Every structure is written in C-alpha cells, then in structure tokens.
Amino acid sequence: MAVNAEQYRSLIQELGPDVTLVAVSKTKPAEDIQALYELGQRDFGENYVQELTEKVPALPKDIRWHFIGHLQSNKVKYIVPFVHLIQGVDSLKLLKEIDKQSAKAGRVTDCLLQIHIATEETKFGLDGPELAALLVSDEFASMKHIRVRGLMGMASFSHDQELLKKEFTVIRELYKQHGSGWDTLSMGMSSDYRLAVQEGSTMVRVGSLLFGARTPVS
C-alpha cells in the first residue's frame, strides 16, 4: 500500500483538534485517496482541475475537496459545483469569476487569499498592499457568492528555518491584521508543517509525507 498509515495516525495525533489536515493527493491514484479515507481522512487537496474532476466521481461523496493550485479563471466553472475550499485565490479577477460561477451554481464558495511570500518568482499570490487594496475595494464588497475565510501561503523551498519562520510570521501578521471574522490560516507542507503550526497555522497541506514522494509531472 502506498499510503503510510502509521505516519497518518501520528500526524493526526500531533496536529490535534485545532489544526486541519488537508491530505494533498495530486498525482496519486484514487486508490490511495480511498485508503486514507478509510483511515478517517476527509479533507483532500488537489492542484490540477482536470485531475480533480476525473477523481471526484470515483470517490466517496463526503470528501471535502480543496483546490490548492493555481486556478485559471476559465476553469473555475468546473470545480465550483462541488469544491469545499478554494485555496490560493491570487487576484480580484479570479475572485470575481468564482463569485459569478457560484451565483450560477446557487451557492456561496469559501476561499482563501494567497499571499506571495516566498523568494521564488514562480509562486503566485498577493503582497501585503495588494491584499489590503483588494479587501477595501467596492468590487470585493459587492460579491455575495464568495466568502473569504482567511489566507494561504507557501514558504520558500528551503531548509533555512529562520527564513521560513520569517515568512510564516509575515503571513500570520497579515492574517491578524485583516482577519476579523476569518478562521483559516493555511500554511505548512510536509517539510515545514511543524514550524508553520508553531507560527499559528490552522491548516496544513501535507502530501509526500502521507503518500510518498511524487514522480515529477511535466
């Protein structure tokens, strides 16, 4: 079996009731997701729209699907009908499309705004001033079919604990500064979830620690 059950149990225990574990199942087959589901896991995260929409029909209906990747506006309509939380909303334009498609689907979609904090140029997200501007905009105020629950961030791909800590702190401070009514601060992955939780994360996104290493996708 590709799923590490022992690792899963100890991680759940370590995180405790106040931190939500999102099991990141991108590139992994439905059988692996089913195996973790049977151990009790309900929150799963995927990065690719097509992969996600192909997996959903084959798996239990009470799975809470988190979209954690970079979402293109033209793909929003495919996931809005069922998605539990869209993490990684990185522009007002995308938020507007989620609002529009959610209105069509007759629902309110929960979202996290992604903060760009890592030193890598390749990662997406808003910086502090962009976040502040979005939150006070009239357009944001007019959207009735999205609900922002908090922030999501990805730290640098680094083992430098001081750097990671600094990055998590920046996100946490933005969360505290803007987050009246927010309840979700999503930061931390397999390699840095412990530090992220120490720095205030309420949701970690863990893949390879549970499912084993991914073979790179092109």
Instruction: Tell me the backbone φ, ψ of residue 185, rounded to 5 degrees.
Output: -120, 100
Residue nearest to ligand PLP (CB): 207
Dist. CA 6–CA 11, nearest whole Å = 8
Sketch the per residue contact string, 183 through 212, with ligand PLP: x for CB under 6 A, - otherwise: ------xxx-------------xxxxx---
From residue 185, how far is each of 7, 114, 161, 174 by CA, in Å?
23, 10, 19, 10
Q: Which x/- pattern over 34-73 shows residues binding ligand PLP (rule: CB under 6 A)?
A: -------------x--------------------xx----
How many residues contact ligand PLP, by CB under 6 A? 14
- The single residue among 154, 185, 187, 197 that binds ligand PLP, judged by CB under 6 A, is 154
Residue 120 burial (CB count, 10 A):
12
24 makes contact with ligand PLP (CB under 6 A): yes
* Residue closer to ligand PLP, measured from CB, 97 or 192: 192
Q: Are 13 and 202 in contact (CB under 8 A)?
A: no
Closest distance between ligand PLP and the C-beta of residue 189, in Å? 4
Q: Which residues bind ligand PLP (CB under 6 A)?
A: 24, 26, 47, 68-69, 154, 189-191, 205-209
